[in-house]
Amino acid sequence: MAAETSVVIALIFIGFLTIGTTTYASYEYSNSLVKNAQYEQDTMKKAKIQTDITIINITNSPALLNLTIRNTGKTTLNASALDVFVNGNPYDFSVVTAGNVWVPQNSTNITIPVSVNIGDRIKITTENGVSDYRLR
């Protein structure tokens, strides 16, 4: 009888050890996922805080709208990743400045195949959500 009891106690102990090990491994995996997500969120917040753009000049012709935009932040941006809206409607555009790398304190020119009227709202949004707008 003592041998059977010892075997049962040993099996119960091994079961608890297995459950504890599995639980700890799952907890560690989940904890590392949360830490990675927090790091990525902090990185995105930092980039957003350090991003700023300003529309410097608007030139409107009958068929084209030319905008000069300055990167006034501290983050290097991708000029082709901008979004352009006129009165809330998205428009395709072409980057006139050579290359897509838009370093801080430099300007870039974009051309939009649309003509705007006085009172129209022009909005430029960067890849991380920072935007600037002007009324024409």
Task: Report the number of distinct structural domains present in the chain.
Answer: 2
Q: pTM of this prediction? A: 0.70
- Domain assignment of residue 4, given as a range: 1-49
Q: What is the pLDDT of residue 7?
A: 85
Q: What is the pLDDT of residue 52?
A: 92
Q: Are 67 and 111 in a shared domain?
A: yes
Q: What is the pLDDT of residues 50-104, one digit of tens each?
A: 899 999 999 888 888 999 999 999 988 888 888 999 999 999 988 876 667 888 9
Q: Are 73 and 106 in a shared domain?
A: yes
Q: Are 94 and 72 in a shared domain?
A: yes
Please tell me the number of Cα atoms within 13 Å of 12 on its side-chain side. 6
pLDDT > 70 fraction of the chain, expressed in percent and rounded: 97
Q: Are 45 and 55 in a shared domain?
A: no
Q: Are 37 and 60 in a shared domain?
A: no
Question: Which CATH number covers residue 85?
Answer: 2.60.40.10
